[in-house]
């Protein structure tokens, strides 16, 4: 039985070229990048080369990049670091952000910060006008993701960044799901803080980066050493950073080719779902204009009843097909996705959702196999469903 991995929004397969770039620093070149001897200097060179690659990819300066343990830490660093550096006590975000943004904002609110959680349009994005109406003289930060990790909706980051620049409000965006898939330019988009993660672009887990625009009001959230120019304490993960740099290098060189391939897979998957389940399938988010690598759908029997998404997922897993019914960080939770309920979806329909997420390593044959097995599973479930 083949293994078909369609959960790439959760994590991606490590590119062999990334592994090759990491191996020397896991075996022979094991020096600490903070050490001044020759072994430490070799590690420092690898770190700085990776920093330069990431900076070039997003049109930043190398000095504006700090390395973190991933997207969650980067988001926390941006939000909490801004609030440490300013007396302003208002943050703007949306109801469909990743929990790595929602939880720090909610924590800040518990400590007296005012928070505005913007509603989203039916396609899952916010508008510039919504942000404009929410900004006030006490706004410390606007934090809105670029691409939603569950429903692929794309926020108008460039327009929001321009508005924030005009209002003198720092703008943070979580690009974990857009880096390597959509163009990201921190200058053109007027971004002050940007979060990214290695394992979403065929790099290693446990490493990410945070862009901090020069001159931004921000204080370190993680302290304990002089690493990263005293902006993030802790021994640097040299192998992971080298891998992240290589993953970014590959993504930069192959973005057009990979996007073309993934769009073709998405077109085939969406058409197959429509043809196989007419009248039953409902797509969530922005299926037309959203990011190409994510397809989120529900199986609705009527306005109040839907097929059990968890049962669909488990039956697909038996057939060797890996998908999810929401963010990997909340898998196993009994409640419906906060993203789907924010779209106004009733709980049974939200719980029937499946998220298929694609990568450059997926094939047409895998899409066809998934559609075939899903058809058998759904028909079997329909025979026992209380319709």
Both tokens assigned to 270: 């969406």
Taking phi first (over 0 means left), then psi (-120 to 50 degrees means alpha), and beta for anything else, what does residue 260 get?
alpha
Both tokens assigned to 28: 């022979």
> Can you tell me the distance from the alpha carbon of 125 to that of 109, in angstroms, rounded to the nearest whole number?
23
Q: Are 251 and 118 in contact (CB under 8 A)?
A: no
- Residues designated catalytic: 329
Q: What is residue 357's three-state secondary structure? A: strand
Q: Are 268 and 260 in contact (CB under 8 A)?
A: no
Q: What is residue 65's three-state secondary structure? A: strand
- In the block, tokens 């209002």 appear at 167
| DSSP letter (8 states) at residue 181 | T
CB burial of residue 215 (10 Å; 0-12, 13-18, 19+) = exposed
> Can you tell me the distance from the alpha carbon of 94 to that of 76, in angstroms, rounded to the nearest whole number?
16
Q: Are 290 and 151 in contact (CB under 8 A)?
A: yes
In sign, the C-alpha dihedral spanning 239, 240, 245, 248 is positive
Short-list 179, 149, 175, CA closest to 161:
175
Q: Are 67 and 236 in contact (CB under 8 A)?
A: yes
Residues in the chain: 387
| DSSP letter (8 states) at residue 337 | P
Q: What are phi and psi of 297, to 5 degrees?
A: -145, 160
> Can you tell me the distance from the alpha carbon of 121 to that of 161, in angstroms, rounded to the nearest whole number?
19
Q: Are 118 and 92 in contact (CB under 8 A)?
A: yes
The DSSP H or E segment spanning 143 is strand 139-143
């Amino acid at each position: 039985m083949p293994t078909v991995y369609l959960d790439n929004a959760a994590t991606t397969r490590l590119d062999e070229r990334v592994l090759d770039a990491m191996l020397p620093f896991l075996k022979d070149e094991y020096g600490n990048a903070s050490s001044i001897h020759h072994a430490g200097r070799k590690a420092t060179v690898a770190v700085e080369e990776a920093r330069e690659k990431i900076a070039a990819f997003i049109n930043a300066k190398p000095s504006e990049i700090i390395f973190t343990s991933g997207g969650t830490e980067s988001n926390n660093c941006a939000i909490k670091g801004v609030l440490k550096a300013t007396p302003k006590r208002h943050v703007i975000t949306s109801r469909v952000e990743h929990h790595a943004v929602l939880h720090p904002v909610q924590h800040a609110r518990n400590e007296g910060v005012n928070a505005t959680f913007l509603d989203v349009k039916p396609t899952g994005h916010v508008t510039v006008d919504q942000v404009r109406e929410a900004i006030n003289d006490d706004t410390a930060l606007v934090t809105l993701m670029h691409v939603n990790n569950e429903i692929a909706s794309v926020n108008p980051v460039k327009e929001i960044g321009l508005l924030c620049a005009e209002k003198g409000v720092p703008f943070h965006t979580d690009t974990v799901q857009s880096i390597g898939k959509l163009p990201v330019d921190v200058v053109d988009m007027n971004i002050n803080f940007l979060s990214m993660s290695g394992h979403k672009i065929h790099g290693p887990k446990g490493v990410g980066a945070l862009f901090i625009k020069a001159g931004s009001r921000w204080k370190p959230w993680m302290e304990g050493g002089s690493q990263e120019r005293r902006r993030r304490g802790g021994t640097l993960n040299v192998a992971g950073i080298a891998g992240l740099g290589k993953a970014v290098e590959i993504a930069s060189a192959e973005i057009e080719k990979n996007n073309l391939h993934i769009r073709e897979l998405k077109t085939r998957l969406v058409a197959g779902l429509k043809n196989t389940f007419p009248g039953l399938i409902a797509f969530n988010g922005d299926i037309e204009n959203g990011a190409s690598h994510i397809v989120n759908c529900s199986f609705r029997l009527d306005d109040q009843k839907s097929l059990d998404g968890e049962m669909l997922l488990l039956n697909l897993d038996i057939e060797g097909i890996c998908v999810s019914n929401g963010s990997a960080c909340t898998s196993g939770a009994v409640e419906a996705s906060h993203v789907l309920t924010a779209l106004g979806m009733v709980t049974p329909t939200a719980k029937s959702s499946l998220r298929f997420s694609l990568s450059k390593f997926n094939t047409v044959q895998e899409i066809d196999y998934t559609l075939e097995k899903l058809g058998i599973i759904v028909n079997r479930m329909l025979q026992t469903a209380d319709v």
